[in-house]
Amino acid sequence: MNCETCQLKELELEAIEIKDVLRCILHTIFFHRTLTLVRPKDVDCDLFEITYVQCGLPDLEKEVDEKINQFIAWVEKHPNRRSQVCLSFFDEKNKNPSWFTNKTERIYWEQWFINLHVVSPKGHGKSRSSKATTSIGGKALEEASSKRAALGLLIQEVLFQIINFANEKKDHIPPISDRIFNHEISIPSSSDSVFGWNADVLRRVLNS
């Protein structure tokens, strides 16, 4: 089975922005790859002027949040690193079925790579006067606001990238199911380098 892959544009962000960004991206992918009947709901980002759609499935929302929290924990131990979150869709088939065994194998048919560069917020040196402190603080807030607005525009570009890919790449999708497609969300583990983790994901795809 052909496995289509989509490398999303890299986003540079701060740790406080991870939850909003990953929720937005992951739920957008799920919504465009869910063929079962759902009750979609609009969700506003907390930090960005962006509204996205969730499938309205509590179990899926819980799974996404759990994975995001795990990724945030990894980021705290590996600051200022480039990393990836991978959402894979797969089909399960019996492998050499017989009456005494029922092993299954995963056949990956699509993978989405969310590329992130999580950076620490810039610190500011001490100032001697309160007027200078106020001036620097005001400038810092203005810069932070401008930077977040720019990130919001980049997130929108990623969302359009998702929509375009999802609409253009359909021939590889398995027959319509009455449930959400089998999937897994992969994040780097505490012992992984980002390159080692990528190699592991690639190895699984090649073996499927």
Render pLDDT for 99-146 as a digit per residue (tens, 0 to 9).
666 678 889 999 999 999 999 987 644 444 555 455 556 788 888 899
According to DSSP, the β-strands at 104-119 and 81-94 are antiparallel
- pLDDT above 50 for 45: yes
Whether the pTM exceeds 0.85: the reply is no
51 forms bridges with which residues in the sheet?
Answer: 44
Q: Write the single-letter amino acid at 117.
A: H
Contacts of 153 (CB under 8 A, 6+ apart): none
Q: What's the pLDDT at 125? A: 44
Who has greater pLDDT, 198 or 180?
180
Residues 118, 141: Cα–Cα separation, whole Å = 19
Domains and CATH numbers, the chain: 4-95+102-120+155-207 (3.30.900)
CB 197 within 8 A of CB 84: yes
Place of tokens 């200078």: 132
45-62 mean pLDDT: 96
CB 186 within 8 A of CB 71: no
Q: Across the chain, what does the average pLDDT equal?
A: 85
